[in-house]
Amino acid sequence: PSQNAKDALHVAAYLAGRCGVPRLLLHGESIGGLAACGVAARLDATPRLRVALVADRTFSDLRCEAQYLTGLDAVAGLMQVVTGWRAADTDAVGSYLRATCPKLVANDCRDHMIPDAASLKSGVAQHRIFGAASPVSVSLEGDSRVADASRRAPPPPPSNMTIDAVNVAHLYCCVRHVRNCAEDEAARVRQRPFADDLDVEADAAGAILLACSLLYRVGTGGGQS
C-alpha cells in the first residue's frame, strides 16, 4: 500500500510539474482509494493546482477490513507480521481526514468485498465519534458481564442515550443475548420429535432462528466495532 501511494504521488507530481495540469481529480476505487487518499493528504493545493478527491467504494483500514471479513481480532496483528505493512500504510481514514481539498466518499452498503462497517464512510464516522477508526474489542463489565455469562437478559440501558463506549457495550450485550436466545431455541427445536419435518419458517421460532443465522458472528468477533 505505501508503494502504491508513492507511485500515485509521483504520477500526480509529474502531471502537475512537467505537464502543467492545472486541475487534478484523484479517483481511487477499492485499494486504489487508499492510494488516492494518501496522495490527497500529501499533495498541497496551490493557486496553480486545484485538487479534488473521490474515494470510491474503499475501506477505512485494511486491518479493519480483514477483521470484518474473518471475524477474528488477531487478524490485524497477523497481517502486519505476515506482510510487514505498518498501521500507517493501511489507514485510509487518517489520510482522508488530513486531506484539505474538496473530497467525496462513495460507498455501497451491499458491497460483498467491503462490509459496510469496514467502509471509509463508517471509519470516518467512527473516528468523529470515538476518536479512532481501528477495530476495537467491546468488553462487558459489571452487571452486563454477569448477565452475559449467566445467559440472562441485560440490565437496563444507561440513562444517557448517546453514542459512546458505555452505550455501545450495552448494545453489544443485548445483541449477544439475542444470539444466546437463538442458540437455545435452535437447540430446543432440534430436540423436538420429527424436527426435520417441522416447517420452521412458519413456527414461532422461525424469527429467532433467522436472528441466530444473522447474529452468529457476534460470538466470534464479527460484531465488534
DSSP 107-167: --TT-SSS-GGGBHHHHHHHHHHHS--S-------HHHHHHHHTTPPPPPPPSS--SSHHH
pTM greater than the 0.85 cutoff: no
DSSP per-residue codes, 160-211: S--SSHHHHHHHHHHHHHHHHHHHHHHHHHHHSTTGGGS-TTTSTTHHHHHH
Is the pLDDT confidence value at 221 over 50?
no
Strand ranges across the sheet with 50-56: 23-29, 50-56, 103-106
C-alpha cell, 124: 470516518
pLDDT band at 37 (very low <50, low <70, confident <90, very high): very high
Q: How many helices and strands (H and E) does the chain possess?
A: 9, 3
Distance of alpha carbon 24 from alpha carbon 13, whole angstroms = 10
Dihedral angle of Cα 154, 168, 71, 131, to the nearest 10 degrees: -160
pLDDT per position as a tens digit, 150-178: 989 899 888 877 777 788 888 888 888 88
State the pLDDT at residue 213. Answer: 57
Is the pLDDT confidence value at 41 over 80?
yes
State the pLDDT at residue 43. Answer: 82
- Contact yes or no for 96/41 (Cβ under 8 A): yes
